[in-house]
Amino acid sequence: MKICPKCEINHIQDNEDSCVLCKPKFCIETDNEARKNLLALLQSYGFFGFLHSTEFENFISIFKSKQILPRNKLTSFRDVANQGVICNTYESVKNCLRFYYKEKTPTNYKANYINPVMLVIDPLLIFDFRAKFASGNAGSNSTVITQFAEIALSFDWDLIFERGSFADSQYSSDDYYTKRNVIKNRRNAEFLYEGILSTDKIVTVFFKYKEAYNKAINIFGKDSRFQVGPKRFD
C-alpha cells in the first residue's frame, strides 16, 4: 500500500497511480449542484455552520490577525490536540483548516481545553472548491476524504450527526470495540479547507464562559457575532 500521489491522503495499491476519488474528471458545474444538495441534507440534521473549537488565547490571536491558519502555518499557539493522534496525522491534513459538522464530538470532549471558544463558519463555504469532505476523523486511515460533494452525499450522515453516549448493550462482546471505533470515527467527521480563511467568514463566536465573552468585548469592542453558549460545549 502507498499514499495516492494526487490527493496525498487516501491509500492505494502499489500498482495503482491514483485512488478512486482522484480518477473522475472534476466538474465544477455538476458538483456545485451536488453541494446544494449536500447543504440541504446537512441542514436537515440541524447543521448551522462549520465548527472550529479553540482555546481563548488562540481566539485572541485569530481575531487580531483577522485570519484562521492551518496547523502547519502556525508559529505559536496553545495546542489542545491529543499529541498521540496529531503526531500520526498526514501533513496534507495538517495543511488544511479542520472543521466539524456538529458540536460535542468525541475529539472535542477529549481535548485539553481550559477556556474553549467555538468559531462558527459560514455554511456557504461549502461552495468553495478548496473544500474537502471527510467521512470521519481526517487523521484516520479508514476515513474517505474527497473534494466531490457527490461522493460526500453517500456518507453515513445519520451516524455522523449521532450524539449521546455509546449504548454498550447494542454490541456483542466480540464486535463491541470494532463497532464502537467505527461510530467514534464517524462522529468525528470533518470538513477540510485548503488555505487561509478570513475572520469575515466567521458568523458566530460562542464562548463557554461569560468572563471570556466580557474579555473579548474589552479587547475588540462589541461584536454581534459574540455569544455566551455553555450548552454548545457540555
Which residues make Cβ contacts (< 8 Å) with residue 178, sequence separation at least 6?
none
pLDDT at 102 over 50: yes
pLDDT at 168 over 60: no
pLDDT, the chain, mean: 86
Which residues make Cβ contacts (< 8 Å) with residue 180, sequence separation at least 6?
166, 171
Helix (H) and strand (E) counts in the chain: 9, 12
pLDDT at 25 over 60: no
pLDDT at 216 over 80: yes
- As a whole number, mean pLDDT of residues 46-63 equals 96
pLDDT at 29: 63
Higher pLDDT, 14 or 28: 14
Which residues make Cβ contacts (< 8 Å) with residue 62, sequence separation at least 6?
54, 68, 119, 199
* Unique residue bearing C-alpha cell 454548545: 232
Higher pLDDT, 70 or 167: 70
CA distance 130 to 8: 15
Higher pLDDT, 191 or 108: 191
pLDDT at 169: 46
